[in-house]
Structure 1
Amino acid sequence: MLRFALKCKDIQIRDPFVLPLEEEGKYYLFGSTDKNIWGPGTGFDAYVSDDLSNWEGPHPVFRPPADFFADANFWAPEVYAYAGRYYMFATFRRKDNNRLGTAVLASDRPLGPFEPLSEGPVTPEAWSSLDGSLIIDDAGDPWMVFCHEWQQIGDGEVCAVRLAPDLSRAEGEPATLFRASEAPWTTPFVSPRFPDTVNYVTDGPYLFRVDDGELYMLWASFIDNTYALGVAKSESGGILGPWTHQPEALYRDDGGHGMVFRLFDGRRALAIHAPNRTPEERPLFLEIAERDGRMAIAGPLSD
């Protein structure tokens, strides 16, 4: 039996990702859990709940080995049950070239320990890339959708690349799905580091299908320098799109980096962090539903 000691307000976490295991009746919560995620990386922790309100943890699920390729910016772990094991897609800042990249780790258990599977990041070595997310296409082949970072290219991109069947490496070249400025709801991000450039941010893409087979994507950006979450839909039903953006942001109250999961009662839930300020960020769970061909928030789930 789980011993619950924490509420959502007690958990500092960014980029929340929920893995529901119905056979256990438990929700596993992963995310960026370093107290200062902008500095040295120590690893990832996870929490466990049966109701999304009362949590047990933290459980250390990943600590880097001595020869790990990164030592800073441990971000956005996403954990998937796939082919009999659990796989973590997470972003790290490389030691060799100081660029971000998404690597794949694996474990036999949802609470780890997770160990490196890929030889460093599976994103391109010359790119600064982040927030890789796993999606399986209609043929059963794995792909990763990720961001080509705005700090490198100005107008951030969401890209996709096919993965090897064992998820250990990319196969082929990435395809650009869209750029941040193409969405009608985004505005330029004014950064004190780049005051003289026009920047558009892409952050945290996550793909999911609804009951009729339509393929949607959540992704985050900014509206007047406030963090926000948008939705796009694949017009072809496939990963490569083309992608059409909902005209208005799904959530624009300084929260985002979302993902969607099924509650044990069958409803669909959205997980985001809010506000987008360290150390105030907390997990927030909302009910989400498709209405007239668009995704909409139906109401809160957590206290």
Structure 2
Amino acid sequence: MPLHDPFVVADEETRTYYLYTSNEPSVSGVEGVGTMVYRSRDLRDWAPPVVVFLVSEQDGVWAADGGWAPEVHKWRGRYHLFTTVHDERRPLPVGPQDRWGVPFRLPAHARGTITAVSRSPLGPFTVLSPERPTPPAHLMTLDGTLYVDPEGAPWMVYAHEWLQTVDGTMEAVRLDPDDLSRAVGDPVYLFKGSDASWLGERIPAGVPHQLPPYVTDGPQLYRSPGGLLVLLWSTYEKDTAGPGGSLSGGYVQTYAVSESGGLRGPWRQRRPLLREDSGHGMLFRTFEGELTLIVHRPFENARGKLYGMEFTADGLRVARRRDDLDGGG
């Protein structure tokens, strides 16, 4: 099952797991940028995917490439699809790279999450505001996710791309509850990629530990039974020196915990949950009640991997590997 940036909806009414990912024409049989969904009753055997959203079928969408990180949330009786699109022909301004001593120029361009809606988890989904992304259009952003605060107000939490900022950040913007495609007010800064102090642990001796860039990907927020607010996110762990002093490494699934219990933090970074080129994970509960993490691994030619998880008094931990479901590897 080829998939990237997996997102699972466990629908209690139909006892069906819906696994959303970017459309892969060689698998779905449908050409175009969009979203496809696999379905299962047991997380082991899956029906062939069906396409639920195509950018080309929407009128006047501002960008036609990408279709990354689709996720579906039920809000006020309708299903809302968030997915990221981009247009490389529309350049955006880049932040102050010189203070980092970056040995290359970063090609920032228009990228952001769009919001579409349907009456069914199987679509078809229709874009609500085709003329713009939900986060501010002058920011290069991706991977928008829904967070509902204790007062019931919806927010989109997203990653602000390192291509524009060098040190990628997590940010949030409040949404209009009557139209989840419309932001209300200015973005709120949460944290930056370099806040994860463990990022330099695998860098060879003699290589500076504070070289950019710092990637932020795949935010997902959850409230633990004990009241902790946890934010899953992914990055690249730096472990080798590349051309010009740049650093590269495997994809990593990590997380942060809000010290205040609220969206504004401050956020305390925790050690990675998974390495092995794994990431962009999300949590869901099985119909048997087990807290489960799904990630993709490896980053290229990715497949879904499942883990049983447990909330602890101060965070989150991996309880067991579910290779009985995903076939191992």
Q: CA deviation at 1:57?
A: 2.2
Q: CA deviation at 1:240?
A: 1.1
Give the structure with the larger helix fraction: 2
Q: For 2:265, what is the secondary structure of its paired residue?
A: coil
The residue number in structure 1 matching 2:183 is: 170
Letter in 2 for 1:118: S
- State yes or no: 1:48 paired with 2:59: no
- State yes or no: 1:113 paired with 2:137: no
**1:47-126 residue pairs with structure 2 within 5 A?**
47-64=38-55, 65-94=58-87, 96-97=90-91, 98-119=109-130, 120-126=132-138
Q: CA deviation at 1:274?
A: 0.5
Q: Is the 8 A contact 2:145 2:220 kept in 1?
A: yes
Instruction: Quote the Cα distance in structure 1 between the aligned partners of 2:129 and 2:309.
Output: 34
The residue number in structure 1 matching 2:22 is: 32
Q: CA deviation at 1:292?
A: 4.0
Letter in 2 for 1:164: D
Q: Is the 8 A contact 2:216 2:235 kept in 1?
A: yes
Letter in 1 for 2:189: T
Q: Is the 8 A contact 2:66 2:84 kept in 1?
A: yes
- State yes or no: 1:220 paired with 2:231: no
Q: Is the 8 A contact 1:187 1:200 kept in 2?
A: no
Among the aligned pairs, what percent are the same residue? 41
Q: For 2:67, what is the secondary structure of its paired residue?
A: strand
TM-score normalised by structure 2 residue count: 0.81
Which consecutive unaligned segments of at least 5 residues does structure 1 have? 1-10, 191-196
Instruction: Quote the Cα distance in structure 1 between the aligned partners of 2:264 and 2:141.
Output: 18
- CA-based RMSD of the aligned residues comes to 2.0
How many corresponding residue pairs?
281
Q: Is the 8 A contact 2:35 2:52 kept in 1?
A: yes
Instruction: Quote the Cα distance in structure 2 between the aligned partners of 1:276 and 1:68.
Output: 28
Q: Is the 8 A contact 1:12 1:33 kept in 2?
A: no
Q: What are the superposed Cα offsets for residues 65-100 of structure 1, whole Å, 9 maximum, x if unpaired?
A: 253221111100110111100001110003655411
Q: CA deviation at 1:35?
A: 6.1
**1:196-235 residue pairs with structure 2 within 5 A?**
198-223=212-237, 224=239, 225-235=249-259
Q: What are the superposed Cα offsets for residues 41-72 of structure 1, whole Å, 9 maximum, x if unpaired?
A: 52111010011111012111001225322111
- State yes or no: 1:241 paired with 2:241: no
Instruction: Quote the Cα distance in structure 2 between the aligned partners of 1:135 and 1:290.
Output: 19
Q: For 1:284, what is the secondary structure of its paired residue?
A: strand
The residue number in structure 2 matching 1:263 is: 286
Q: CA 1:118/1:272 → structure 2, altered by over 3 Å: closer, same or farther?
A: same
The residue number in structure 1 matching 2:312 is: 291
Q: CA deviation at 1:231?
A: 1.1
- State yes or no: 1:149 paired with 2:173: no
- State yes or no: 1:13 paired with 2:13: no
- State yes or no: 1:139 paired with 2:151: yes
Instruction: Quote the Cα distance in structure 2 between the aligned partners of 1:222 and 1:96.
Output: 26
Larger radius of gyration: 2
Instruction: Quote the Cα distance in structure 2 between the aligned partners of 1:219 and 1:42.
Output: 24
Letter in 2 for 1:214: L
Q: Is the 8 A contact 1:14 1:33 kept in 2?
A: no
Q: Give structure 1 regions of 4+ aligned residues with deviation exceeding 3 angstroms.
A: 33-36, 94-98
Q: Is the 8 A contact 1:215 1:238 kept in 2?
A: yes
TM-score normalised by structure 1 residue count: 0.88
